[in-house]
Amino acid sequence: MKHHLEQIWSKGYLNSLPESIRERGFNYSVNKESKDILITGINPSFRIGADNGNCSFDFRIIAEDEKYDVYWSSLKKIVHDKQLNIDFRSRTAYLDIFYFRETDQNFLRNQILKKSEGLNFAVDQIKLSQEVIETIIKPKLVIVKNKESAAYWGKFADKGIYWMGYELELLQSLESGELYKIIGLIDSKERVLPEVKKSNLENSLIFFTQHFQYAPSVKRPNAKLVSDFLNIQSSLS
């Protein structure tokens, strides 16, 4: 992962993008094995006081840390509930779709995707993310916890937006999000990896929710819901 990201960050198109991308570098989640659950964000934040430079983190360590964190604490609740004796932490991976370090959620749309160089930068990162998802993590359940990043999975393919381009079948609409089954890959050359014809995620489930840190409890997925989803997925296999 680090080697591939270093290659992306060395490409000439970065010269046409905001200086902060080069200065801050990239941040990535270490993923070395398959996991039943994958939680995805859109990109790592750049917190106040953070140092510039490339870095990485391990969700296995974060998941076991009981200290409160403004981002991770609410996320961990969807895979760990002490009262219900549900603990999926060891079965869960985390991955950001993009790797540039930025807290402003409008930065991607306004500063990157409006330029051809930015589109190339985004495509290279998404290709890498899809390869990691398909060949390493191979999850049975994907939880997309950023509403905007749903587009990168193929949820809006009917509007001509493909990116990774998964073919999806709606199973349930809930207050906390929408549950789909991944049927395969859309037959389109517009996908970032059109040469890949068959997905390792066929019959996996994908749940599109939102950034739920400050959302009311009814709109937040929880560990019981995740358990139910895994049972549904098991029945599909």
CA 133 remoteness from chain centre: 9
pLDDT number for residue 236: 86
**pLDDT tens per residue, range 117-135:** 999 999 999 999 999 999 9
| Residue 235, domain member (yes or no) | no
Number of domains in the chain: 1
Mean pLDDT taken over the chain: 94
pLDDT number for residue 105: 85
Residues 6+ apart with CB under 8 A from 92: 35, 36, 37, 38, 39, 59, 63, 79
Note down the domain range covering 62. 2-230
What CA–CA distance (Å, rounded) separates 29 from 142? Answer: 16
Q: How many CA atoms lie within 13 A of 213 on its CB side?
A: 9
Backbone angles phi, psi at 192, to 5 degrees: -70, -25
Residues 6+ apart with CB under 8 A from 110: none
Inter-CA distances, 179 with 77, 80, 102, 155, 173, Å:
19, 20, 28, 11, 6
| Residue 237, domain member (yes or no) | no
Please check whether residue 233 is in contact with residue 92, taking contact to mean a CB–CB distance below 8 angstroms: no
CATH of the domain at 199: 3.40.470
| Residue 48, domain member (yes or no) | yes
Q: Give the strand pairing for 166-174 and 92-96.
A: unpaired
Encode the chain (237 residues) as per-residue pLDDT tens digits.
999 999 999 999 999 999 999 999 999 999 999 999 999 999 999 998 999 999 999 999 999 998 998 889 989 999 999 999 999 999 999 999 999 999 998 999 999 999 999 999 999 999 999 999 999 999 999 999 888 899 999 999 999 999 999 999 999 999 999 999 999 999 999 999 999 999 999 999 999 997 666 666 777 899 999 999 999 999 986
What CA–CA distance (Å, rounded) separates 128 from 98? Answer: 9
In sign, the C-alpha dihedral spanning 91, 229, 73, 150 is positive
| Residue 197, domain member (yes or no) | yes
| Residue 236, domain member (yes or no) | no
Q: How many CA atoms lie within 13 A of 142 on its CB side?
A: 29
